[in-house]
Amino acid sequence: MTETTDTLFQLGKLAETTPRERSNWAWLRTLWRSKPAVLGSVFLLLLLIGALFAPAIAPYDPNDQAFEFLQAPSLAHPLGTDDLGRDLFSRIVFGARVSLFVGASTVLLSSLIGVLLGLLAGYYGGWIDTIIMRYIDLQWAFPNFIIAVYLVAVFGTGLENVIIAVTLAFLDDFARVVRGMVLSIREREYVLSARALGASDARILWRHVLPNATAPVIVQATVSVSYAILAEAGLSFLGLGVKPSTPTWGLILSDARTFISRGWWLAVFPGLAITLTVLSINFLGDALRDIFDVREYQEEEGGS
Amino acid sequence: MSRYLVKRTIASLIVIWAVATLVFFMLRAVPGDPFRAMLADVDPQAADELRRKFGLDRPMYIQYFLWLGRMAQGDLGNSIYGSNVSVSRIIAEAFPRTLSLAGLAFVISLILAISAGIVSAVRKNSALDHTFTFFAFLGLSMPDFWLGILLIIVFAVNLQWLPAIGYVPLSKGFWPWFSHLILPAIAAGTPFSAIVARMTRSAMLEVLNSEYIKVARAKGLTEQSIVFRHALKNALIPVVTVMGIAFALLMSGAVIVENVFAIKGLGRVLIQGILNRDYPVVQGAILVVSVIFVFTNLLVDVLYTVIDPRIRYES
């Protein structure tokens, strides 16, 4: 073989073996060692089961106003009843559905869109980068919750609009994180050699850039999920969330306000549910962050 | 450095303009206007008349330039809902309340957080450190409105030490003003505290392990002098960077907390405006909120360049 084809052959081999930055399943074992993370995961699992099988687990219908109102926690009603005679425990169990659903779907959508934007901006640079990042920087200057409130003002209330609003509000975090990663990955040998071999942009993005950019996205996702759940609760609390017929934790808290002096359980338990959920996610996320050691991925973040 | 300042200020003004424009068009892009809601198809004629009176029937770009012109002169329009009060007046009344709340929350939280962070770092892994870390986690996980309600239940309803709702201006005396604001300030400031405390702790830990601190110890300086005069100054640099994000949390917390404690501040104005589809009010409030944020970010950036000499010479 001639020298040129020999070099090309070597380059080809280099391009085909995209190095993974970490081995795939070792992190699970390290996760297991952190006690808070384990506690958090257990709680989240229970919550998930509770949300999925709510009709089976909740002792009563959450909207059934048959019982005596404002009863303190008792054997029949472990968390008490509210001012309209509804069982609080059932309402909280059903409320888990909305909160988890909104939290998961908004982060999923937001990460997908954010990753796309970050990929395009980081990889192509130039005017695409400028346009996208100017907008993202604009959004980044404001707290995500206020953006969500404002978007609900524009689109209206209701479940779909809340999901849209929260998804859009949390885009800035994902886009920035991904763009930073892409900027550094772009210059690595395996990408350069793939380009030299004439691989299309799409193939490079899909096979080389994306797999190595996922770690910080996962870390960011765990952070954003907790804020998304808090955002949904806040929106519902303010009356800007889902329709009043669906029990969601924020809404239950909002109703509880008028009866604070007569029914402390109405205010304490929904808030406790939110807090424990977010706490578990934070424990889990913190452990994941320690594992992935995000600082290693933040080489480009210095100037921003 | 003043060139940097000028550049950043111009950039900030552009951001404010961009946000205002975005808000303007987005509010009008969505179908449904305040008059339909108010008159509910009962009297379409009256709805049209009101629309014409407020200039909402003209094409959007004309509305935009009119609005821009008026805004440059400080006229933010009038509230559509209710008694046609000028938006500037509504905001002018609401702003000092939010300022008091956010200001008090900021000061209290900052002092508590930095102290806790320093103690945590100096006594790393002690019981105190673990307690503080746990509370920091808790503070970040609790919804601030829930904390507010809990505080009301404990301090206002049961112990009856402090009032539950309302706002009293400073002019009526320090204690009334303070007692009404202390609970909301704690509620709004807790996430902010949590972040700043954790950041202070990790920054202090890093600095305390650095070379020149080891030299200071070898020189025989007292631990107190080392911690407060040498380590703290350098540890505060990353804390300032995080301050911008933390302050944003503080402000959005203030918006909700105002709702819980029935304080008629900017947050309350904004939310009422949204619920009533009162365009001028929403626009005015968002504008003021944007100015606050952009200004704060600018301040943090400038502070950052002042504190860290390395940046000053690089830019």
pLDDT-derived band at A8, boundaries 50, 70, 90? low
Do B279 and B80 touch, CB atoms closer than 8 A? Answer: yes
Angstrom CA distances, A289 to A37, A134, A220, A296, B226, stand at 11, 28, 9, 11, 31
Rounded CA-CA distance B298/B5 in Å is 9
* Residue entry with tokens 């960011």: A220
Lowest average pLDDT, out of A253-257, B28-32, B205-209, goes to B28-32
Beta strands in A240-291 (DSSP E): none
Say whether residue B134 is in contact with chain A using an 8 A CB cutoff: no
Å between A5 CA and nearest CA of chain B: 46
Å between B248 CA and nearest CA of chain A: 5
Say whether residue B27 is in contact with chain A using an 8 A CB cutoff: yes
Do B26 and A154 touch, CB atoms closer than 8 A? Answer: yes
Across the interface, do A282 and B145 touch by the CB < 8 Å criterion?
no
Residues of A in contact with B274 (CB under 8 A): 149-150, 152-153, 240
Residue A240 exposed, middle or buried by CB count within 10 Å (0-12, 13-18, 19+): buried
- Cβ atoms < 10 Å from Cβ of B106: 20
Nearest CA in chain B to A261: B157
Say whether residue A234 is in contact with chain B using an 8 A CB cutoff: yes
Q: A279: closest CA among A39, A86, A79, A48?
A: A39
Ranked by mean pLDDT, the top range of A163-172, A242-251, B62-71 is A163-172
pLDDT-derived band at B13, boundaries 50, 70, 90? confident
Of B30, B143, B249, the CB nearest to A143: B249
Q: B190: closest CA among B236, B142, B150?
A: B142
pLDDT-derived band at A151, boundaries 50, 70, 90? confident
Tell me what pLDDT residue A109 has. 94
pLDDT-derived band at A165, boundaries 50, 70, 90? very high
Across the interface, do B137 and A279 touch by the CB < 8 Å criterion?
yes
Say whether residue A268 is in contact with chain B using an 8 A CB cutoff: yes
* Residue entry with tokens 């609005």: B67
Tell me what pLDDT residue B291 has. 83
Is 60 exceeded by the pLDDT of residue A194?
A: yes
Is 90 exceeded by the pLDDT of residue A113?
A: yes
Do B88 and B250 touch, CB atoms closer than 8 A? Answer: no
Say whether residue A269 is in contact with chain B using an 8 A CB cutoff: no
Å between A266 CA and nearest CA of chain B: 11
pLDDT in tens, A173-192: 899 888 888 888 888 888 88
Tell me what pLDDT residue B245 has. 77
Say whether residue A278 is in contact with chain B using an 8 A CB cutoff: yes
Q: What is the mean pLDDT of residues B15-43?
A: 67
Tell me what pLDDT residue B42 has. 59
Q: B204: closest CA among B126, B123, B135?
A: B123
Rounded CA-CA distance B83/B272 in Å is 14
Of B143, B274, B282, the CB nearest to A274: B143
Say whether residue B18 is in contact with chain A using an 8 A CB cutoff: yes
Nearest CA in chain B to A273: B142
pLDDT-derived band at A276, boundaries 50, 70, 90? very high
Tell me what pLDDT residue A170 has. 92
- B257-296 residues touching A, CB cutoff 8 A: 259-260, 270-271, 273-275, 282, 286, 289-290, 293-294
Residue A267 exposed, middle or buried by CB count within 10 Å (0-12, 13-18, 19+): buried
Say whether residue A240 is in contact with chain B using an 8 A CB cutoff: yes
- Taking the CA atoms of residue B155, residue B158, residue B159 and residue B161 in that order, the dihedral angle to the nearest 10 degrees is 50
Å between B298 CA and nearest CA of chain A: 10
Q: Which of the pair, A17 or A292, is modelled with greater confidence?
A: A292
pLDDT-derived band at A52, boundaries 50, 70, 90? confident
Give the whole-number percent of chain B exceeding pLDDT 90.
Answer: 3
Is 70 exceeded by the pLDDT of residue A304?
A: no
Tell me what pLDDT residue A212 has. 81
Q: A229: closest CA among A286, A112, A143, A145?
A: A145
Residue contacts between A and B (CB atoms, under 8 Å): 107
Tell me what pLDDT residue A106 has. 94
Which tokens is B9 given? 């200020």
Of B152, B251, B259, the CB nearest to A238: B259
* Residue entry with tokens 């301090």: B155
3-class state of residue A141 by DSSP: coil
How much is the mean pLDDT over chain A? 80
Say whether residue B107 is in contact with chain A using an 8 A CB cutoff: no
Query: Rounded to two decimals, what is the model's pTM?
Result: 0.82
Which tokens is B284 given? 């005015």
Across the interface, do B143 and A233 touch by the CB < 8 Å criterion?
yes
Say whether residue A145 is in contact with chain B using an 8 A CB cutoff: yes
- A247-266 residues touching B, CB cutoff 8 A: 250, 253, 256-257, 260-261, 264
pLDDT in tens, B149-158: 888 888 877 7
Tell me what pLDDT residue B285 has. 84
Across the interface, do A146 and B138 touch by the CB < 8 Å criterion?
no
pLDDT-derived band at B315, boundaries 50, 70, 90? very low
Q: Which amino acid is at A63?
A: N
pLDDT-derived band at A110, boundaries 50, 70, 90? very high
Is 60 exceeded by the pLDDT of residue B306?
A: yes
Residue A208 exposed, middle or buried by CB count within 10 Å (0-12, 13-18, 19+): buried
Across the interface, do B271 and A240 touch by the CB < 8 Å criterion?
yes
pLDDT in tens, A204-217: 777 878 888 888 88
Do A121 and A208 touch, CB atoms closer than 8 A? Answer: no
Say whether residue B68 is in contact with chain A using an 8 A CB cutoff: no
Q: Which of the pair, A29 or A118, is modelled with greater confidence?
A: A118
Say whether residue B251 is in contact with chain A using an 8 A CB cutoff: yes
Residues of B in contact with A276 (CB under 8 A): 141
